[in-house]
Amino acid sequence: MKIFKYRTFEKWAKKQGVSDDDLKKAIIEIENGLIDASLGGNVYKKRIGKLGQGKRGAYRTILLMKLGDKVIFAHGFSKGEQGNITKNELEGFKVMAEALLNLSTVQIDTLIDNKNLIELSND
């Protein structure tokens, strides 16, 4: 499965100290059936632990995902700053999922070239 970060998520993750390895671990958990919540429309919520803490009070990420194909980390927040996303935000993420998950390889490459998407390496 190809893993991407949306540019605003990338900025948030750097600020919070969420590494690419943390994101890859989250994807491995998802592939093993550990999804925190399916929000509909290929939008999912996944918790990521803070270094030295656990997942309980940690970060929440919003993923746009077609299982077995690609996943895009679209949004992140800590439980302390936001309890959950709003209905309007969820609708926006569903629109993003519909648009981004159905792009061709050429279109994805263009977004990567323009730094709108960052692809995680598969190592």
Closest to 64 (Cα-Cα) out of 106, 111, 15: 111
* Residue 10: predicted pLDDT: 96
| Interval 54-77: pLDDT, tens | 555 588 999 999 988 999 999 999
* Residue 109: predicted pLDDT: 95
Q: Name the pLDDT band for 81 (thresholds 50, 70, 90).
A: confident
In whole angstroms, how far apart are CA 40 and each of 7, 8, 63, 106? Answer: 23, 22, 11, 27
Q: Which sign, positive or negative, has the C-alpha torsion 49, 54, 60, 61?
A: positive
| Lowest mean pLDDT, pick from 8-22, 50-64, 74-88 | 50-64
Q: Name the pLDDT band for 123 (thresholds 50, 70, 90).
A: low
Residue 106 has pLDDT above 90, yes or no: yes
* Residue 89: predicted pLDDT: 94
